[in-house]
C-alpha cells in the first residue's frame, strides 16, 4: 500500500514545480510589502487575491478585519494600522555628527508601529538602558539605548514609554559576525501580546546595525551622546486582510495550508505564499487531468497576518477545518551558513495529529539528502490553533535561523532575507504530496494508511521505551520524570492514532499495551511532593474561553498585568480530569525537562489571575 496515493506522485509533482514561477511570485510580493505600511498591504493583498482568481481557485475572497487596537478575535486584539509617511532618520549630534539610521536606505531602521516624532524631530541626550533602574527608569525626555533585540510581549517598552523617554534605539548583536552593517526588523512591542493596545503609550523606535550599536556603547562609555531623530509616521484605525481560496472537495470539511503575509522578507514569508500557491496549482492540474481523484476533502488556502489575522478568520469561518499545515520560513539562507536544516514542528500533545508521521515518511522516502529534524509542538506562532478549544491540529515546516551563537532572524541582509532554492524545490512537492494524501484519500485509503502508520507509531513507542530504560538505568531520570515521559508518549501515540477519526469517524480504536514501560520506573524510589507541588496537585481548571490568553481582552485595561508568559502547552493541557501538576508534568515529559517549584508557583498565580476574569474556572 502506498501512503501517498501513487508510487510516482512525488516525481510527477516535482516535474510540475516551477521555480521560476515561485521566484517571480516571491519577488512581486516582497516588493509590494517592502514599504511595511498598511496602504502597501492593501495593494499587496489585492494582488494576492488576483493571483488566486487567475489560477482558477474557488471561493476566492479578500476579507477585511478592523485594525483598531480594540477589536478582538478569540483573545487577539488586532493592532492599529501604521504607515511610514516619508524619510525618517536618526543622527548623532554630539560628540560628532553622523547619520546612523535612514529609511531611504532601508525602512527597517524604523520599527513597525513606531510613534512619529513631532515635526522637525527631537534632539535629546542618549542614555544606556543598562544604567537605568528597569522598574523605575529615569529617562524622561531622553533617548534610551537598548543593546539587544527589542522583544515583543515584554514590559520594557511600556515601562520606558510611561517614563516619558524621547524614544528607543536598539541594536541586535546576533548578526555581528557576518552582517555587522545591517539592522533587524521587529514587528511590535506590546507589553501584552505582540502589539500595542489602543490605550498603550507609544514612542519612536529606531533599530541600528550591530556595528553602530557597538559605536554607541563606546561613545556612551566616554561621555555625553546627543541624538536627533525624526520619524514621519502615523498610527490610525484602518483595515488588514485575509486572502483565501479553495480547491473544493466532495465534503465541505477542509484541510488548510497557512502562510502569513505582512513581513518584508523573501524567507519570511513571501516564500510561504508562493509555495502555498504552487502546491495548489500542482494539485489542481493533476485533479483536473484525472491523475488524482476528485478530492474527498476541500483544500483551503489561508494567507493572513501571523496569529492575529488567522484568529480573525477562524473566529468567523463556518466550515470545519480538520487540520492545518503552516509553511512559514520553510527555507532560509542563514541555515546553510550555520549548517542547520529545517524543522518539522509536530502537532502538540494537547491535540496530536497523525500528520506528524506522514510528514516523517514523506521526508525519509523522498528527501533523505536534506538535513531536518522533528521537535515537539508547542503552539507557538501560527500553531496556536492547536489549542483544544479552537481544535485545529497544526504542523509547521520551519527553517531555524539561529544556533545559539548567531541569530539571523529578521536580519535585513541575504543571510536571512534569502531562500535556499534546492531545498524549496524539494520541500514544495513534499507539501503537495502530503496534502494530496489528506484531501484525496477515501475511507479505504485512510484505513490502509492508519494500518501502515500504526506500525511506525509503535516503532516510535519502542524508541521512547528504550530511552526511558537507558535514562533510568544510568540514574539520569527520576521515577517522576520517567512517569511523566511515559505518559506524554502514550498520550501522543493515542492522540495521533485517534486523529484518523477526524477525517473518517470510527476508523481507528487505538490502545497502548498494558503496563507499557512500567518495569523501568516502578522500582525507583518515590519522592515526597513539595508543598508547592501538593498545591498544584489539588487544583483542576476548566477553560471557559475560546483560544489561549494573549491580549487579555477580558480584563479591564487598568488591571492588565504584563506577564513574561507561560508555555502555551501547559495552558492547552488544562482540563477538569487533570490537575495543574499533571498538566505541568505532561509538558515536562513532552520536552524532557523538569519544572521547578518557583515556576509552578508562578504558573499558579497566573492561573488565579486569569480565573478572576473568566478565562478559566476552578473545578472542585
Q: Which three cell numbers stand for residue 415?
A: 543571510
Question: Which segments of 369-499 does DSSP mark as H helices, in order?
Answer: 421-440, 443-473, 479-498
294: pLDDT strictly greater than 80: yes
pLDDT of residue 153: 56
Q: Each residue of 49-85: b (16+ CB within 10 Å) or e? A: bebbeebebeebebbebbbbbeebbbbbbbbbbbbbe
pLDDT of residue 370: 87
Strands (E) across 392-432 are located at 394-399
> Is 176 strand, coil or helix?
coil
CB 295 within 8 A of CB 286: no
What mean pLDDT do residues 231-244 have?
97
pLDDT of residue 571: 96
CB 116 within 8 A of CB 204: yes
User: In angstroms, rounded to a whole number, what is the distance separating the alpha carbons of residues 139 and 132?
Assistant: 8
Residue 618's φ and ψ, nearest 5 degrees, are -75, 140
Where is average pLDDT lowest: 70-79, 395-404, 605-614?
Answer: 395-404
CA–chain centroid gap for 340, Å, is 19
Sign of CA dihedral 40, 46, 49, 54: negative
Beta bridge partners of 399: 342
Helix or strand holding residue 610 (H, E) = helix 597-612
pLDDT of residue 452: 93
250: pLDDT strictly greater than 90: yes
**DSSP secondary structure code for residue 178 in this structure:** T
**DSSP secondary structure code for residue 525 in this structure:** P
Q: Rounded mean pLDDT of the chain?
A: 92
Residue the block writes with cell 502514550: 490
pLDDT of residue 441: 96
**26 pLDDT tier (thresholds 50, 70, 90):** very high
pLDDT of residue 339: 66
Residue 333's φ and ψ, nearest 5 degrees, are -60, -35
403: pLDDT strictly greater than 60: no
Closest by alpha carbon to 277, among 511, 34, 490, 28?
A: 28
> Is 143 strand, coil or helix?
strand
pLDDT of residue 337: 67
Sheet harboring 226-230: ordered strands across? 98-102, 89-94, 226-230, 122-128, 143-146, 167-170, 205-207
160: pLDDT strictly greater than 90: yes
What mean pLDDT do residues 308-333 have?
95
Where is average pLDDT lowest: 52-61, 107-116, 135-144, 336-345?
Answer: 336-345
605 or 405, which is more confident? 605
pLDDT of residue 572: 96
DSSP-derived pairing of the beta strands 298-305 and 238-247:
antiparallel
What mean pLDDT do residues 53-64 have?
98
pLDDT of residue 521: 75
Q: Which three cell numbers stand for residue 90?
A: 536618526
Please write the tens of the pLDDT for every residue from 572-595.
999 999 999 999 999 999 998 999
Please write the tens of the pLDDT for every residue from 429-483.
999 999 999 999 999 999 999 999 999 998 888 899 899 889 888 888 888 888 8
Amino acid at each position: 500500500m502506498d501512503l501517498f496515493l501513487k508510487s510516482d506522485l512525488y516525481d510527477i509533482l516535482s516535474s510540475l514545480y516551477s521555480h521560476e514561477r515561485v521566484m517571480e511570485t516571491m519577488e512581486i510580493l516582497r516588493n509590494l510589502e517592502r514599504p511595511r505600511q498598511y496602504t502597501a498591504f492593501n495593494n499587496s493583498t489585492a494582488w494576492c487575491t488576483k493571483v488566486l482568481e487567475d489560477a482558477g481557485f474557488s471561493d476566492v475572497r479578500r476579507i477585511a478585519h478592523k485594525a483598531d487596537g480594540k477589536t478582538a478575535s478569540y483573545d487577539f486584539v488586532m493592532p492599529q494600522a501604521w504607515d511610514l509617511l516619508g524619510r525618517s532618520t536618526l543622527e548623532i549630534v554630539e560628540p560628532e555628527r553622523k547619520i546612523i539610521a535612514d529609511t531611504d536606505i532601508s525602512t527597517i531602521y524604523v520599527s513597525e508601529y513606531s510613534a512619529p516624532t513631532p515635526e522637525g524631530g527631537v534632539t535629546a541626550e542618549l542614555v544606556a538602558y543598562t544604567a537605568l533602574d528597569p522598574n523605575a527608569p529615569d529617562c524622561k525626555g531622553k533617548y534610551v539605548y537598548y543593546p539587544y533585540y527589542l522583544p515583543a510581549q515584554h514590559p520594557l517598552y511600556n515601562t520606558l514609554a510611561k517614563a516619558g523617554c524621547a524614544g528607543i534605539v536598539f541594536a541586535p548583536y546576533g548578526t555581528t559576525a557576518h552582517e555587522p552593517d545591517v539592522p533587524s526588523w521587529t514587528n511590535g512591542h506590546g507589553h501584552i501580546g505582540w502589539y500595542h493596545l489602543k490605550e498603550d503609550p507609544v514612542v519612536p523606535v529606531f533599530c541600528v546595525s550591530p556595528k553602530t550599536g557597538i559605536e554607541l556603547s563606546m561613545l556612551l562609555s566616554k561621555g555625553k551622546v546627543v541624538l536627533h531623530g525624526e520619524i514621519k509616521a502615523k498610527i490610525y484605525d484602518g483595515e488588514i486582510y485575509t486572502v483565501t481560496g479553495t480547491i473544493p472537495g466532495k465534503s465541505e470539511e477542509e484541510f488548510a495550508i497557512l502562510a502569513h503575509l505582512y513581513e518584508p522578507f523573501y524567507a519570511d514569508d513571501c516564500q510561504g505564499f508562493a509555495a502555498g500557491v504552487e502546491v495548489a496549482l500542482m494539485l489542481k492540474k493533476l485533479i483536473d487531468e484525472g491523475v488524482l481523484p476528485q478530492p474527498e476533502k476541500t483544500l483551503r488556502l489561508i494567507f493572513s497576518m501571523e496569529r492575529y489575522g488567522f484568529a480573525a478568520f477562524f473566529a468567523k469561518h463556518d466550515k470545519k477545518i480538520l487540520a492545518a499545515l503552516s509553511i512559514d520560513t520553510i527555507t532560509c539562507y542563514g541555515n546553510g551558513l550555520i549548517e542547520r536544516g529545517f524543522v518539522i514542528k509536530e502537532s502538540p500533545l494537547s491535540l496530536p495529529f497523525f500528520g506528524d508521521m506522514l510528514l516523517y515518511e514523506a521526508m525519509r522516502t523522498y528527501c533523505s539528502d536534506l538535513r531536518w529534524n522533528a521537535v515537539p509542538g508547542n503552539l507557538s506562532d501560527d500553531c496556536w490553533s492547536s489549542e483544544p478549544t479552537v481544535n485545529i491540529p497544526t504542523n509547521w515546516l520551519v527553517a531555524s535561523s539561529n544556533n545559539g551563537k548567531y541569530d539571523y532572524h529578521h536580519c535585513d541582509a541575504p543571510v536571512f532575507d534569502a531562500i535556499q532554492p534546492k531545498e524549496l524545490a524539494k520541500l514544495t512537492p513534499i507539501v503537495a504530496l502530503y496534502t494530496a494524501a489528506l484531501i484525496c484519500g477515501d475511507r479505504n485509503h485512510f484505513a490502509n494508511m492508519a494500518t501502515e502508520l500504526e506500525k511506525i507509531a509503535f516503532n516510535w513507542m519502542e524508541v521512547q521505551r528504550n530511552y526511558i530504560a537507558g535514562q533510568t538505568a544510568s540514574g539520569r531520570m527520576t521515577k517522576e520524570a520517567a512517569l511523566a515521559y511515559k505518559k506524554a508518549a502514550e498520550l501522543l501515540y493515542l492522540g495521533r492514532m485517534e486523529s484518523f477519526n477526524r477525517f473518517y469517524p470510527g476508523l481507528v480504536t487505538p490502545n497502548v499495551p498494558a503496563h507499557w514501560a512500567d518495569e523501568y520506573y516502578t522500582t525507583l524510589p518515590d519522592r515526597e511532593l513539595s508543598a508547592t507541588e501538593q498545591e498544584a496537585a489539588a487544583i483542576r481548571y476548566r477553560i471557559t474561553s475560546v483560544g489561549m490568553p494573549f491580549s487579555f481582552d477580558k480584563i479591564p485595561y487598568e488591571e492588565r498585568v504584563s506577564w513574561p508568559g507561560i508555555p502555551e502547552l501547559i495552558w492547552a493541557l488544562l482540563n477538569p480530569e487533570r490537575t495543574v501538576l499533571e498538566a505541568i508534568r505532561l509538558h515536562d515529559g513532552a520536552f524532557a525537562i523538569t519544572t521547578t517549584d518557583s515556576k509552578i508557583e508562578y504558573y499558579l498565580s497566573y492561573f488565579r489571575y486569569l480565573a478572576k476574569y473568566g478565562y478559566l474556572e476552578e473545578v472542585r
